[in-house]
Amino acid sequence: MKQSGEPEREQQKSMERKGYVYIAGAGPGDPGLITVRAERALREADVILYDDLVSLELVDQFNALKIYTGKRKASHHFEQEEINREIVRHAVDGKTVVRLKGGDPFIFGRGGEEIEALRNYGIDYEIIPGITAAHGAGSYSEIPLTMRRISSSVAFCTGHPVSSIQVPDTDTIVYYMVASSVHDVLDAVAAKGRPGMTRVAVVQNATRYNQKVLTGTLDEFRQREKAVYSPALLIIGDSIGQFIRHNWHTRKKKVLMTGGESSRYSGRDCIMVHFPCRRISGSDLDAVHKSLEALDSYSVLLLPNKFSVKYFFRFLYDSGRDVRSLAHMKICTGGQAAAEELKENGLVADHDLEPDPASGYAKHLRELSISGERILLPGSNHVDDSLVGELRELQNEVTPVGVYAHEVRHDDLVDLDFIDEIYFATPVCVRNFRTLFESIPERIVVSTADRRTEQEYRRLFRA
Ligand code: SAH
């Protein structure tokens, strides 16, 4: 018999917002290889729990609370049990959760275990497939996994643990998790009677800017003592052609963008690598909050680049405010990308001060007679001294506030060995870069957005 009070509780419960979980594949590394459906889920998410192999460039685009559940960070190592508990905790709390996994959730992804936990708690979920590493590696290193007359079957196997290594009778075999067991796998393949001339490839960092492909025959690989770096796949089969070492992905120019806009380098001829920018945190937050408290006292909001817009508005919204609290200010942007990002927030800039390559902002500021104003200048944690100088010269009172940082996490540092060209968008980008890299190899072509940036580059790297 139902106890009194229970229907009421039931009703109350059904009125509460129900949590929902997407178990989604992020693809193998290139942030462009996510599905439209997964991207939509990420946009909707309150919480994103992401793994090691998920691209940070991808995760950074979304506003949700992000929880790293990988194993590389020194500070904390999440066990599967703990991950399951985290997913359940947020979902029970009524949140929309995306559990984002490298590749496809159902290919060596432990997606099955997570679902079991959700079922136990009666939490609604769905699964969004992803491009698995084998498919990414196949396409990005020009290895057809099947090919008429050469390969009519393919198997995905694991190289770890060594006791689980299987050698199925397919024409092509792709081994996952081989970083520490390449030789065990090759021995097992040879023991199964595959000829020594069978073609073999190792694809490291498939689909990323630093993808590396090693090729040879089964015999050659067994004799070689080559270290294999994770993440890597071992592919075995004669559909591996002769030319993959110089495949389409290798041939493309790799351009490292520091703070710039991707639109500058669109097209088919290069791959863009983005230098990370992050929303600031920790003690720097005080300054941001103070500036938001004091919004009424400013007459101009100057947003010099896309990131300043993106992160300033996130702080504004997080503080419970919206664009109406900016109504009294003139809003200026520092170029088209910033102006476009501003539009995303429902605002059109009063003036767009695209900096002049030779004279910076000075010309615009004079023409528009921006003088005697109280200017709030959100930007990077490293203040752009020359811009502040130009503004102060015209008797403006300027308050720079850091809303984002060029900060590099753990093993997220760009490997310059793979980079052909570096683009510096601002002098601040050059300075940030200098804190991480002592020098830039001669081989790399450097370009800068304007004269001030060029000067800073010469001063710090070519003096
Ligand atoms: N669910 C993932 C696989 C997770 S298991 C998927 O569908 O791809 C982890 C293994 O995947 C790694 O040890 C490596 O073998 C492989 N892997 C994942 N991303 C890779 C990449 N970008 N390049 C090469 N191998 C990758």
Q: Whose CA is nearest to atom 2 of ligand 1?
A: 103
Which CATH code of 1.10.730.10, 3.40.50.10090, 3.40.50.2000, 3.65.10.10 fits the domain covering 280-407?
3.40.50.10090
Chain-centroid distance, C-alpha 409 = 12
Could you give the strand order of the β-sheet that contains 96-101, starting from the edge strand earlier in sequence? 65-68, 47-50, 96-101, 20-25, 124-128
236: left (phi over 0), alpha (psi -120 to 50) or beta: beta
Burial class (CB in 10 A: 0-12, 13-18, 19+), 380: buried
- The pLDDT, as a whole number, for residue 48 is 95
Length of the chain: 463
132 lines ligand 1 (CB under 6 A): yes
From 23, 53, 100, 181, mutation site for ligand 1 pocket: most ligand atoms within 8 A of C-beta: 53
Q: How is 360-378 classified by DSSP, letter by letter?
A: BTHHHHHHTT--S-EEEEE
CATH topology of domain 19-131: Cobalt-precorrin-4 Transmethylase; domain 1 (3.40.1010)
Residue 174: enclosing H or E segment and its boundaries?
A: strand 172-176
- The pLDDT, as a whole number, for residue 270 is 85
175 lines ligand 1 (CB under 6 A): no
- The pLDDT, as a whole number, for residue 72 is 60
CA atoms within 13 A on the CB side of 449: 24
- What is the second-level CATH architecture of the domain 135-244? 2-Layer Sandwich (3.30)
CA-nearest of 91, 89, 54, 57 to 69 is: 54
What is the rounded end-to-end Cα distance, in angstroms, of the chain? Answer: 85
Is residue 13 part of the annotated active site? The answer reads no
Q: Which entry of 2, 18, 30, 51 is annotated as an active-site residue?
A: 51
Q: How far is the CA of 191 from the centre of ligand 1 (A)?
A: 25
- The pLDDT, as a whole number, for residue 1 is 44
Other C-beta atoms closer than 10 Å to the C-beta of 415 total: 13
33 lines ligand 1 (CB under 6 A): no
111 lines ligand 1 (CB under 6 A): no
Which amino acid does the sequence have at 116? E
Burial 219-243 (b: 16+ CB within 10 A, else e): eebbeeeeebeebbbbbbbebbbee
Residue 255: enclosing H or E segment and its boundaries?
A: strand 253-258
404 lines ligand 1 (CB under 6 A): no
CA-based angle 252:253:258, to the nearest 5?
Answer: 135
Which CATH code of 3.40.50.10090, 3.20.20.70, 3.30.310.50, 3.50.50.60 fits the domain covering 252-278+408-461?
3.40.50.10090
CA-based angle 87:159:230, to the nearest 5?
Answer: 70
| Sign (positive or negative) of CA dihedral 265, 266, 268, 274 | positive
Where are the domain boundaries for CATH 3.30.950.10 in the chain?
A: 135-244
- The pLDDT, as a whole number, for residue 289 is 92
231 lines ligand 1 (CB under 6 A): yes
Q: How far is the CA of 232 from the centre of ligand 1 (A)?
A: 7
From 106, 176, 178, mutation site for ligand 1 pocket: most ligand atoms within 8 A of C-beta: 176
| Closest atom, ligand 1, to C-alpha of 53 | 19
Q: Rounded distance, CA 424 to CA 449, Å?
A: 6
**410 DSSP assignment:** G
Q: Rounded distance, CA 21 to CA 9, Å?
A: 24
**355 DSSP assignment:** -
Is residue 71 part of the annotated active site? The answer reads yes
Q: Rounded distance, CA 306 to CA 337, Å?
A: 6
Contacts of 432 (CB under 8 A, 6+ apart): 258, 380, 382, 406
Q: Rounded distance, CA 26 to CA 34, Å?
A: 5
- The pLDDT, as a whole number, for residue 264 is 55
> pLDDT tens digits, the chain, 463 residues: what are they?
444 445 555 445 444 667 999 999 999 999 889 999 999 999 999 999 999 889 888 887 887 888 888 766 444 567 888 888 889 999 999 999 999 999 999 999 888 888 998 999 999 999 999 999 999 999 999 999 999 999 999 999 999 999 989 999 999 999 999 988 999 999 999 999 999 999 999 999 999 999 999 999 999 999 987 778 889 999 999 999 866 667 888 889 999 988 766 555 556 788 888 776 666 666 678 889 999 999 999 999 999 888 899 889 989 998 999 999 999 999 999 888 899 999 999 999 999 988 776 677 878 888 888 899 999 999 888 787 878 988 999 999 999 999 887 665 545 678 999 999 999 888 888 888 887 888 999 999 999 988 989 999 999 998 8
Q: How far is the CA of 78 from the centre of ligand 1 (A)?
A: 18
This prediction has a pTM of 0.78
Rounded alpha-carbon distances, angstroms, from residue 263 to 32, 270, 337, 340: 15, 12, 9, 12
Chain-centroid distance, C-alpha 49 = 14
| Closest atom, ligand 1, to C-alpha of 175 | 15
The angle that helices 306-318 and 336-344 make with each other, rounded to 10 degrees, is 20
Burial class (CB in 10 A: 0-12, 13-18, 19+), 8: exposed
Q: How far is the CA of 103 from the centre of ligand 1 (A)?
A: 7
Other C-beta atoms closer than 10 Å to the C-beta of 372 total: 10
